[in-house]
Amino acid sequence: MDAKAPKNVDNVNWDYIEEWKKPVNPLGEVDKDFQCVWIPYGLPEAIDPEHTKYGHGFQVQNKWKVPDKVMITQTITGAFYSKRGNPNHPISKEEILEQSLAVADAGAPNIHIHVRGEDGHNILCPKTFHYVIDPVRKYYPDRIISACMVPFQKGEWAKMIECLQDGLMDETPINTVAAFCGDTLFAKPPHVMIEKARILSELNCKAQIAVYSDGDIDNADRYLIKTGALKPPYYWVILPNLPGGSPMQSPKAMVEVLMHYVNRIQEIDKDSEIVVCASGRAGTYLASFAMLLGLNIRIGMEDTVWQYPHKDDKIKKNLDTWYQFSQMARLLGRDIYTAEEFKKKLGMVKPGGILRDARTNQPVLQSMVR
């Protein structure tokens, strides 16, 4: 028998432990071995992973309801970050085109494109968008082109319409935001959201509802969904964790915030298609968690500069993020949607056309030029 355990070193009742080691234990059992209780009622199995001897016709552990496929949208540059934040960030149209072609060649089914001006800031320029998108369309005609049509400056509303009429992109976001993004105030008035929704519908460009905080979810519900400005299936893009958005200062906060977003969106429509952006410090972990939840993801250099939340290493190129997350999807048993599969699921058709005034039937751009 073991030597008697020392006393007064913790709060354990060692005297009672010793009672169980005696020839006659506290239950009156004689010469009972000091052991665990093991009674295999379900023989011949010790543990049956699927069934129980006490029932039939069901599995004791149900298969998870996780979609077999995931859409991975690959961003390239975005509107926010510069080479000051990440020296590797693609800014020039040549860099943006080069990296767009690289990820397309590697298999990315959905490529999300912004373009920048000579000063490095985001612009809405049809000529520059054509410079980047036309070669991608030429060499990879089977891909989804997602481009950001957010008019910031005077005259850009007409340029947005020109890009949409040209059929440059298959999808684009409607931001329902009113917030400080970093030190920049970014707000989309309701009339702008609603009119943009109408234009996208008429020109066959699928609208993404882009939300930065839970208030944006309510804005989308009030202005775009309950009004009927958008029609289902609804297509959400969750972009949290930017400075001024919903904070994720720890893994626990990340889980809580993302679950809150998803629950609120699914209260509006449980069948909504949701994309989660690898944004801010949480980026890599956030997208990984989203895939575990069965959601789609958006990756790349638009929404974060960091490779990992707990390190200061910066992303070197977009292609690295594609390889990282496409491999992760396969490790999780989730195949990646082809562009055609995803288009069919969301009812996307060939984009483009002529936007006409509902009252006069005149081309809108023509009247704007006048």
Q: What is the mean pLDDT of residues 348-358?
A: 91
pLDDT of residue 51: 94
Where does 114-267 show beta strands of DSSP type E? 115-116, 122-123, 144-147, 171-175, 178-181, 184-187, 206-211, 235-238
pLDDT of residue 188: 86
Max CA-CA distance within the chain? 105
pLDDT of residue 142: 96
Q: What are phi and psi of 296, to 5 degrees?
A: -90, 165
pLDDT of residue 115: 97
Q: What share of the chain is helix, strand, coil (3-state, %, to 5)?
A: 35, 15, 50
CA distance 109 to 222: 32
Domains of the chain plus CATH, in order, are 69-346 (3.20.20.70)
pLDDT of residue 41: 94
Question: Where is average pLDDT lowest: 5-9, 19-23, 125-129, 179-183?
Answer: 5-9
Q: What is the mean pLDDT of residues 57-73?
A: 95
> pTM for this one?
0.91
Closest CA to 347 of 232, 265, 251: 232
pLDDT of residue 364: 85
pLDDT of residue 369: 43
Q: What is the mean pLDDT of residues 142-163?
A: 94
* Local confidence band at 34 (pLDDT 50, 70, 90 cut-offs): confident
Q: What is the mean pLDDT of residues 2-17?
A: 76
Q: Is the pLDDT of residue 103 over 60?
A: yes
Give whole-number Cα distances, 119 to 83, 91, 93, 257, in Å. 12, 9, 12, 35
Per cent of the chain over pLDDT 70 is 96
Q: Is the pLDDT of residue 337 over 70?
A: yes
- Name the β-bridge partners of 336: 70
Question: Where is average pLDDT lowest: 28-32, 249-253, 363-367?
Answer: 363-367
Omega before 247 within 30 of 0, i.e. cis: no
- Encoded amino acid at 274, one letter: I
* Local confidence band at 192 (pLDDT 50, 70, 90 cut-offs): very high
pLDDT of residue 241: 87
Higher pLDDT, 305 or 7: 305
DSSP state of 356: B
Higher pLDDT, 221 or 180: 221
Q: Is the pLDDT of residue 243 over 90?
A: no
Higher pLDDT, 2 or 315: 315
CA distance 3 to 6: 9
Q: Is the pLDDT of residue 224 over 60?
A: yes
Higher pLDDT, 191 or 178: 191
CA distance 270 to 267: 6
| Cβ partners under 8 Å of residue 234, min gap 6 | 209, 225, 268, 269, 272, 273
Q: Mean pLDDT across the chain, nearest whole number?
A: 93
Q: What is the mean pLDDT of residues 22-26?
A: 92
pLDDT of residue 275: 98
